[in-house]
Amino acid sequence: MIVVGIDSHKKTHTLVAVDQVGKRLTQVTVDATAKGHREVCTWLGQLEQVLLAIEDCRHLTRRFEADLLLSGYAVVRVHTRLMAGARLSARERGKSDPIDAEAVARVALREPDLPKAELDGPTREVKLRSDHRRTLVRQRTAIANKLRWFLHEIDPELVVPSRGLKRLCVLDTLEADLAARCGVVAEIALDLVRDCRRLTMRINAMEAQLRQLVRELAPNLVAVPGCGVLSAAMILGETAGATRFKSKDAFARFNGTAPIPVWSSNTVRVRLNRGGNRTINNALHMAAVTQVRQDGSGAAYYVKQLAAGKTVKEALRLLRRRISPTGPFAPCWLTRPPMTASGSSGNCHRRLDIEASPSSASSCRSAGPDSVGRARRVLLRHHQARVVRHHHLAQPGRSPYSDLRLH
């Protein structure tokens, strides 16, 4: 099999083909245009069993990836941090487009589980609208901060309610008041009020569009307690399809709710993960805070962790991790039931089903507390068996989680 590494720029694309041992075979540089993309497809037709590896810079390569995928080629994405080691270990010194493309190809040979490129789906529309709405909110906040100082200069007794500059009725009152005043400051303040009105109307319209999209794509995500339309839009847009994650643990690693292992020998210790996708992490945090304020399973779990000796921050982190596999992601993971210690498929999906759909939650509650307790005990035994199997920490009379601490 031949691996072709691609180093993309705004004006050109450089492609280097290597064999199975990483030896450079040939290279080509084309323009980053539709004509150049057709030239690449013609050049690739001369090779057999080609795997394309492209540096993950989708703001530059999105159109190129789409043309390659529509032509029937398999494309994987290489994160930029993986290229540093490949470039340092290469014999050729320096940095150039062919050197970078060759490093991309060698990383694809070394890493078998790179993410595969796919055509943009409906979740990209959610991401674009969500990002654009956040940009509009930041613009309105900057204008509102400047407007408040002008209003204080015009009349210190003119009281504007907290967060009132996002309400159309307050903006109508300010516009009528400023229109009757004279001076440059009043004129500029009037323009700022109109800008706030315009941005507020666009933000409200964008939120209505997001509400319709989210309810069509992932209605069960909005049903999760504490997860509103905006949080659900951030999760959907940043996830870009839950099927690309092999398990709920892989998704937790992606969003930063899975802790980082920092242990050796027989003492299992983990620390806070400050990486991952912080946008999804922020949405999960808002959902966790909302669940703590309400009466429900989230608040009960939070109180339970506090009673077990966890701090407030640690309890919130554990609640975020508990919320992570819910919503639209649980069903695609529940299609592959995990194996219990005895080797048979267990009953350990019950807890995730409770969080995923209200109907399953009501059916589980109707079954009585004993069935729920049994499901939770099976889930705990499954996790303990998996830790023992992977980390060889089985000790008679001792739980593998006995030394687990969050730092």
- Span 73-129, pLDDT tens digits: 999 999 887 877 666 666 667 788 888 898 899 899 888 888 888 888 888 899 999
Report the DSSP beta bridge partners of residue 29.
14
The rounded distance, in Å, linking the Cα atoms of 240 and 242 is 7
- DSSP label of 274: -
Map tokens 């996708």 to a residue.
Answer: 277
For the entire predicted model, the pTM comes to 0.68
- Span 218-247, pLDDT tens digits: 888 888 888 899 999 999 888 887 777 878
Instruction: Decide if 319 contacts 305 (C-beta within 8 A).
Output: yes
Domain 2-110 fold is: Nucleotidyltransferase; domain 5 (3.30.420)
Instruction: Decide if 301 contacts 351 (C-beta within 8 A).
Output: no
Q: What is the residue-wise DSSP string for 269-311? A: -EE----S-HHHHHHHHHHHHHHHHSSSHHHHHHHHHHHTT--
Domain boundaries, the chain: 2-110, 122-217, 232-391
pLDDT number for residue 296: 85
Map tokens 């209003």 to a residue.
Answer: 151
Instruction: Decide if 231 contacts 287 (C-beta within 8 A).
Output: yes
The rounded distance, in Å, linking the Cα atoms of 330 and 253 is 15
pLDDT number for residue 224: 86
pLDDT number for residue 348: 35
Listed as ranges, residues in the chain with pLDDT below 70 are: 85-92, 326-407
Residue 14, both tokens:
């450089």
Which residue type is seen at 109?
Answer: L
